[in-house]
Structures are given as C-alpha cells and as structure tokens.
C-alpha cells in the first residue's frame, strides 16, 4: 500500500502506515486518501462509547470505477495535491525562495485543471490563484501570503473529499474564507 495522502501526521509501521487523526467530535469526519490496487486495509480506532480499541478490515478488490467514483478520486487527489503545494510553497517562500513557491502552486494548478471542470475544482483553482497573487514580492508574502498559504493549505488538507453540500467543513471555515477573500 502506498503512503496515505493526507495532511494528518503519517508514520511508517512494520505492516503499513499509521495516521494520527486525533480527536473527532460529534458529526465530524476525516478523510484519508489511500491508494491500493488490492489487498486488505486494517483500521484501528478507539471508541469512547465502548471504551475499547476497535479493529476493522476493508477489502480492496480491483474493479472499474464508475464515472462518479473516478471523479471523486480525482478530486481527492487534486485537493490533497493543492494542500501539499500550498504548505510547501509557504515553506519555500519563508526561506526566500519565491520562484520555487510559485512553481509549486503552478504545478498544483495544472494538476487541478487536468482533472476537469466542476465547482470544487474551480474553487481549488481560485484559491491557488489567490495564493499565487500573494507571492509576487517578499512584502506581499509577508503581509498576506504567509497567512493565506498556511490557512488555505491546512483547510484544503482537512476538507471532506466527497459530496458535501458545501466546500468547507463547517460554518466557521466558510465565514473565515469569506473574510479572507474580502482582504
């Protein structure tokens, strides 16, 4: 199994990977993209209801994806790539490498454009464009870019990856996006 694609901490284990998702609260959900061709994925979590560790196994068998499933996977990959590019661009720009930071974001933008044209992809493209605009000069990065890249990168890394009625996980994130967009 390939390394899980997520912004949550990932550690290699003897028989796979461990993803530390931390606490979940009522009605929260965390998505982790795992690429498998076949085999069994083992999941272990602590249930506060039963006060014990619960083990699950998910079988993966090769099959053709429906067009909706393929689109959901493509969107998940694009969202994870966008988040990773934003966080890496922030690190590059903080080290004075604005050209590398812009290149990271342009690569993620090209990947998102290759996925197709849907509302979620257009939002990723808009956010990438906003971040690119804040990397024109060191002063732009210091005043806006450093915050926008960290905030958007973290937000995209923790968004739901499949059909939701809104693009952002909760009303606080939606209001923060609106406020940041007004800057």
pLDDT value of position 45: 79
Q: Report helix, strand or coil for 30.
A: coil
- Tell which wins on pLDDT, 52 or 18: 52
- Tell me the two tokens of residue 21: 């998702």
8-22, 26-40, 114-128: range with highest mean pLDDT: 114-128
Q: Examine the pLDDT at 145 and tell me if it is beyond 60.
A: yes
Q: How buried is 55 (Cβ within 10 angstroms: 0-12 exposed, 13-18 middle, 19+ buried)?
A: exposed
Q: Report helix, strand or coil for 49.
A: coil
When pLDDT is cut at 50, 70 and 90, the band that residue 166 belongs to is very low
When pLDDT is cut at 50, 70 and 90, the band that residue 103 belongs to is very high
Q: Which of 82, 84, 102, 83 is nearest to 92 (CA)?
A: 102
- 118, 71 contact by CB (below 8 A): yes
- Tell which wins on pLDDT, 56 or 135: 135
- pTM reported for the whole predicted model: 0.68
Q: Examine the pLDDT at 163 and tell me if it is beyond 50.
A: no
When pLDDT is cut at 50, 70 and 90, the band that residue 107 belongs to is very high
Q: CA 148, 152, 153 angle in degrees (round to 5)?
A: 110
Residue for token digits 């890249």? 149
pLDDT value of position 24: 66
pLDDT value of position 167: 46
Residue for token digits 């429906």? 66
Q: CA 139, 150, 118 angle in degrees (round to 5)?
A: 110
């Amino acid at each position: 199994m390939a390394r899980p694609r997520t912004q949550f901490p990932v550690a290699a284990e003897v028989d796979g990977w461990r993803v530390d998702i931390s606490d979940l609260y009522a009605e929260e959900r965390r998505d982790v993209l795992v690429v498998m061709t076949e085999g069994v994925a083992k999941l272990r979590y602590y249930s506060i209801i039963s006060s014990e560790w619960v083990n699950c196994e998910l079988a993966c068998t090769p099959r053709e994806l429906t067009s909706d499933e393929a689109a959901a996977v493509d969107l998940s990959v694009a969202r994870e790539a966008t988040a990773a590019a934003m966080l890496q661009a922030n690190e590059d720009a903080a080290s004075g490498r604005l050209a590398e930071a812009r290149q990271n974001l342009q690569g993620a933008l090209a990947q998102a454009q290759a996925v197709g044209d849907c509302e979620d992809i257009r939002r990723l493209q808009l956010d990438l464009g906003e971040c690119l605009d804040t990397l024109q000069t060191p002063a732009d990065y210091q005043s806006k870019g450093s915050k926008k890249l960290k905030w958007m990168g973290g937000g995209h890394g923790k968004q739901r990856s499949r059909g939701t009625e809104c693009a952002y996980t909760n009303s606080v994130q939606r209001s923060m996006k609106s406020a940041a967009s007004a800057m």
